[in-house]
């Protein structure tokens, strides 16, 4: 008995269709559709009655049927090779937040750096007719492991390689570095070193530029070029030991680190070696990886790349594109934000 369904208001039954609603309300399917979508014209009473009936039946429109006719799936794909999720998860959170209000859901496709997997996931998104695609990466100078063919839907990139004719959002690494170093300068540091990741990363080169720029603008001595190593605590620790080995007069009194892991290792080494942070040496990190930054002793002052905001902007831009609006191509560099904790000696604001 179909009518049984009508007796269970609490029971969300996925099989209740608009046909059932129309029948129960004594109207045609077309009228039911219009009432529910606030379209067309009809008496307020009719509209309300139909809605009440729909609600009591637990009617939920079938998004796929709707998609088929509207040619919009209300779905987007998030393609990423960041399986660890360090960068992508905050991006995904911002993205979802920007989309959920418009009823758009996101397919998560995380795959290893392997062309086969990437292709499978891409095809899956294409078959699902996503309205748009967000490509999220681990670094701004690498794309996905596959060549994207000319896609029938708009694409937006986040924290990933992006050519001039594409649309992308990345953190402004140079500006972030400037902010970090200026903070060290504001904390009265005069000899500011830079310890960072591999120079093969564009982000490393940009941050180094920011460091150099800020130091020179302040008329401070430019210490030996950035110490470059891998993105690890171990490298930071070793760098800290090297600092300890220097004659005190030559030692930096401030260090801008390329990421939080390096900063943490460096601080640990300094502390073990008897130097005080921030009194003897101030340190700023990069990433604001909270679990690490907060646990550092002392808690780490660092640069937040605003990944969440990057995701949010990517989302609303993608929505614009899907709606057919024109969006100027090119890469947007979003401002980073200084997060003051205790490793610099400044009072948190």
Partner DNA sequence: CTGAAAGCGCTTACAG
List residues binding a second copy (CB under 8 A): 10-15, 60-65, 67-68, 73-75, 78, 83-85, 89, 92-93, 96, 100, 103, 105-110, 120-121, 123-129, 149-153, 232-234, 237, 261, 264-265, 268, 271-272, 291-292, 295, 297
Q: Binding of DNA at residue 246 (CB under 7 A)?
A: no
Q: Which of residues 17-46 bind DNA (CB under 7 A)?
A: 17-19, 27-31, 33-34, 36-37, 39-43, 46
Q: Which does 42 bind (CB under 5 to 8 A by kind): a second copy, DNA, none?
A: DNA
- Tell me which residue of 43, 5, 45, 44 sits closest to 24, measured CA to CA: 5
Alpha-helical runs (H) found in 140-201: 173-186
Our CB check for DNA shows the closer of 152 and 248 to be 152
> Residue 34 binds which entry of a second copy, DNA, none, with Cβ cut-offs from 5 to 8 Å by kind?
DNA
> How many other CB atoms are found less than 10 A from the CB of residue 81?
23
HSE-CB of 265 using CA atoms within 13 angstroms: 21
Measured CA to CA, the distance from residue 301 to residue 338 in angstroms comes to 8
Residue (37 or 199) nearer to DNA, CB: 37
Tokens coding 78 = 């998030």
- Write out the binding residues for DNA, residues 287-346 only, by CB under 7 A: none
Cis, bond preceding 332 (omega within 30 deg of 0): no
At 310 the three-state DSSP class reads helix
Residues in contact with DNA, shown as a per-residue x/- string from 57 to 76 under the rule CB under 7 A = --xxxx--xx-xxxx-----
- Identify which of residues 22 and 89 has a Cβ nearer to a second copy in the complex: 89
Cα–Cα nearest to 306, from 341, 349, 335:
335
Selection from a second copy, DNA, none that 271 binds (CB < 5 to 8 A by kind) is a second copy
CB of 247 to a second copy, least distance (A): 25
The helix (run of H) or strand (run of E) holding residue 134 is strand 132-136
What do you get for the CA distance between the two ends of the chain, in Å? 66
Q: Residue 196 binds what, of a second copy, DNA, none (CB under 5 to 8 Å, by partner type)?
A: none
Binder to DNA among 15, 150, 325, 326 (CB under 7 A)?
Answer: 15
Cα–Cα distance between 173 and 169 in angstroms, integer?
12
Q: What is the distance between the alpha carbons of residues 23 and 50, in angstroms, rounded to a whole number?
A: 10
Give the one entry of DNA, a second copy, none that residue 141 binds, where binding means its C-beta sits below a cut-off of 5 to 8 angstroms depending on kind: none
Residues 6+ apart with CB under 8 A from 93: 308, 311
Positions that interact with DNA (CB under 7 A): 15, 17-19, 27-31, 33-34, 36-37, 39-43, 46, 59-62, 65-66, 68-71
């Amino acid at each position: 008995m179909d009518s049984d369904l009508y007796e269970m208001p609490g029971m969300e039954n996925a099989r209740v269709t608009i046909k059932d609603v129309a029948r129960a309300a004594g109207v045609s399917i077309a009228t039911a559709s219009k009432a529910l979508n606030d379209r067309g014209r009809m008496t307020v009473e009719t509209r309300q009655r139909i809605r009440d009936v729909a609600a009591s039946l637990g009617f939920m429109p079938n998004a796929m049927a709707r998609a088929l006719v509207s040619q919009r799936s209300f779905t987007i794909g998030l393609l990423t090779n960041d399986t660890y999720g360090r960068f992508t998860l905050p991006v995904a959170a911002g993205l979802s937040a920007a989309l959920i209000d418009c009823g758009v859901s996101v397919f998560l496709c995380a795959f290893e750096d392997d062309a086969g997997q990437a292709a499978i996931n891409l095809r899956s998104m294409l078959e699902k007719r996503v309205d748009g695609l967000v490509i999220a990466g681990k670094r701004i100078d690498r794309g996905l492991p596959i060549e994207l063919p000319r896609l029938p839907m708009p694409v937006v990139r986040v924290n990933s390689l992006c050519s001039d004719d594409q649309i992308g959002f990345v953190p402004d690494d140079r500006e972030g570095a400037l902010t970090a170093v200026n903070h060290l300068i504001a904390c009265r540091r005069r000899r500011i070193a830079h310890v960072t990741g591999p120079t093969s990363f564009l982000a490393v080169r940009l941050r180094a530029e920011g460091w150099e720029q800020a130091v020179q603008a302040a008329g401070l001595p430019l210490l030996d070029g950035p110490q470059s190593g891998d993105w690890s605590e171990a490298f930071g620790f070793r760098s800290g030991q090297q600092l300890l080995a220097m004659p005190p007069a030559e030692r930096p009194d401030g260090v801008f680190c390329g990421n939080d892991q390096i900063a943490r290792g460096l601080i640990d080494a300094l502390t073990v070696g008897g130097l005080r942070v921030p009194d003897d040496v101030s340190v700023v990190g990069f990433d604001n990886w909270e679990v690490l930054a907060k646990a550092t002793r002392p808690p780490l002052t660092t640069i937040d790349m605003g990944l969440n905001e990057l995701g949010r902007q990517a989302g609303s831009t993608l929505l614009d594109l899907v709606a057919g609006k024109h969006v100027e191509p090119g890469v947007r560099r979003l401002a980073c934000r200084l997060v003051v904790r205790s490793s610099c000696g400044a009072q948190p604001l």
